[in-house]
Amino acid sequence: MSGRSRKLVVEGGDKVIDFNSKAFKPAPESGIVDAVEAMRDGMMYRYQHKDKANSHVSMFEKEFAEHLGTNYALGVNSCGAAMFIALNLAGVKSGDKVLSNAFTFTAVPSAIHHIRATPIFVESTDEWGLSAVDLERKVVESGAKVLLMSYMRGHVPDMDAVMEVVHKHDLFFIEDCAHAYMTYWDGIPLGKFGHIACFSTQSSKGLSSGEGGILCTDDQTLAAKALLYAGSYEGRWDRHHGMDSQMMSDLQDKIPGYSMRMNEITGAILRPQIPRLGEIRNIHRSNYQYLESLIGQHPNLNIPQPHPKAEYFCDTMQFHIAGLTHQQADSFVQLMIQEGLGVQIFGSGRNARDFREWKYLNGSEQVDLPETVQNIEFAVDLSLQPHLGHDDMDIIAQVINDILDYINNG
């Protein structure tokens, strides 16, 4: 066993993992109480309350806008819906070209497909952020005027370089912040760089409600149109904070409603989670930094370092497997799962984050993206939810080291 203190499960040993590293955060008790009250009272539709101060969704929008430091926030039923609305606000039409990460979750190209536009995929760096160099190249080659950029797994590209391209080519910039709660570039929160920011409240995200999304903007006209696209009608815009009555009256019947509203149960669950985001971020960052100190020097692991200006939420850890074959890397994943740690490789096993698996896109969009392939083919994804602590990081590190020892000496 090459000095290992225990046998792996595959060798007949016992599991040492007695926790679920991927278990999602429970809703705060106060949110549960408010959600149950809404259900008991039959007040589950966001526009049932005549006064916006009594609507959980309306108040969640106000409170999240204050948290982010933006003028307007709109609760919708998913981040995918927020991105679809954002693309409409950007004026994207069927057949238009939209720039986006090659490395992202399938929901992003699906939103582009939803509006019947054509994605122009941009390469990633080895730290999994969008490549500003390739962005410049793709803007010039395609003539696209809209950028929908993901901070996939919370990884931040060189925002100075990205914004230089955005301003140089006058791009309409939509930020997909699904993984970017309390994530910063040079002290500025992500979600404050583009025309529109889209957040997710799916269960694995910083704010967790099963499903849900948030669209944020500083522009009142974009906010006004967004709430109409989401499904406000017959003057119900008066139950949103900060809207101009004359502007809303003028727009009311000129924009289709796509019925993408957030409901009161979701709003009730989410409101008390905003104040705890800072505490959760501190837990994530402490666990991440401690685990990195335990495994970061292993010769078979490469944990790329973020840009010095970037501060991450750190709710997941990604690392490249180095010096192993594809078969050995796949074995690493299977052995981790056997030990009780659910991990995946982004570029293996029909992963929904591998652009080569997006078969619903036309063949013309399946372009050659060698840098992205290189950066996902050995990239391991490990969830680190906030119920974990340093003792759990010790065990995770032990398991990783034991598995790599087994592979190298087996």
Which residue stretches of 150-219 are H helix? 159-168
pLDDT at site 363: 57
CATH number at residue 312: 3.90.1150.10
* Structural domain span for residue 334: 9-23+277-409
pLDDT digits (tens, 9 = 90+) for 79-116: 999 999 999 999 999 999 999 999 999 999 999 999 99
Provide mean pLDDT across the span 219-231.
98
Residues 388 and 269 in one domain: no
List the one residue out of 46, 54, 48 whose CA is nearest residue 262: 46
pLDDT at 3 over 80: no
- For residue 329, is it within any domain? yes
Which residue stretches of 117-189 are H helix? 132-142, 159-168
Provide mean pLDDT across the span 331-355.
96
Residues 231 and 186 in one domain: yes
The CA distances from residue 108 to 120, 170, 309, 366, in Å, are 12, 22, 26, 15
The CA distances from residue 76 to 37, 106, 242, in Å, are 21, 19, 17
Residues 152 and 13 in one domain: no
- The residues, ordered by sequence, that sit 6+ positions from 166 with a Cβ below 8 Å of its Cβ are 147, 173, 194
- For residue 223, is it within any domain? yes
pLDDT at site 366: 56
The residue among 229, 247, 273 that closes a domain is: 273
pLDDT at 409 over 70: yes
Provide mean pLDDT across the span 119-133.
97
Residues 331 and 363 in one domain: yes
At residue 239's C-alpha, the angle toward residues 47 and 228, to 5°, is: 80
Residues 114 and 143 in one domain: yes
Residues 313 and 205 in one domain: no
Residues 141 and 188 in one domain: yes
Residues 269 and 284 in one domain: no
**HSE of 308, CA atoms in CB hemisphere, 13 A:** 0
Residues 391 and 322 in one domain: yes
Residues 231 and 337 in one domain: no
The mean pLDDT of the chain is 96
- What is the rounded distance in angstroms from the CA atom of residue 216 to the CA atom of residue 72? 6
Residues 228 and 308 in one domain: no
For residue 4, name the pLDDT band (cuts at 50, 70, 90): confident
What tokens were used for 114?
Answer: 């939803």
- What is the rounded distance in angstroms from the CA atom of residue 156 to the CA atom of residue 152? 8
The residue among 222, 247, 273 that closes a domain is: 273
- For residue 4, is it within any domain? no
- For residue 2, is it within any domain? no
Place of tokens 């106000």: 62
pLDDT at site 364: 46
List the one residue out of 283, 396, 286, 294 whose CA is nearest residue 341: 396
pLDDT digits (tens, 9 = 90+) for 31-45: 999 999 999 999 999
- For residue 305, is it within any domain? yes
| Residue 388 identity | L
The residue among 242, 258, 273 that closes a domain is: 273
Residue pair 406/8 in contact (Cβ under 8 Å)? The answer is: yes
Percent of the chain with pLDDT over 70: 98
In this prediction the pTM is 0.96
- For residue 1, is it within any domain? no
pLDDT digits (tens, 9 = 90+) for 353-388: 999 999 999 754 557 899 999 999 999 999 999 999
Residues 33 and 179 in one domain: yes
pLDDT digits (tens, 9 = 90+) for 277-317: 999 999 999 999 999 999 999 999 999 999 999 999 999 99
Domain count, the chain: 2
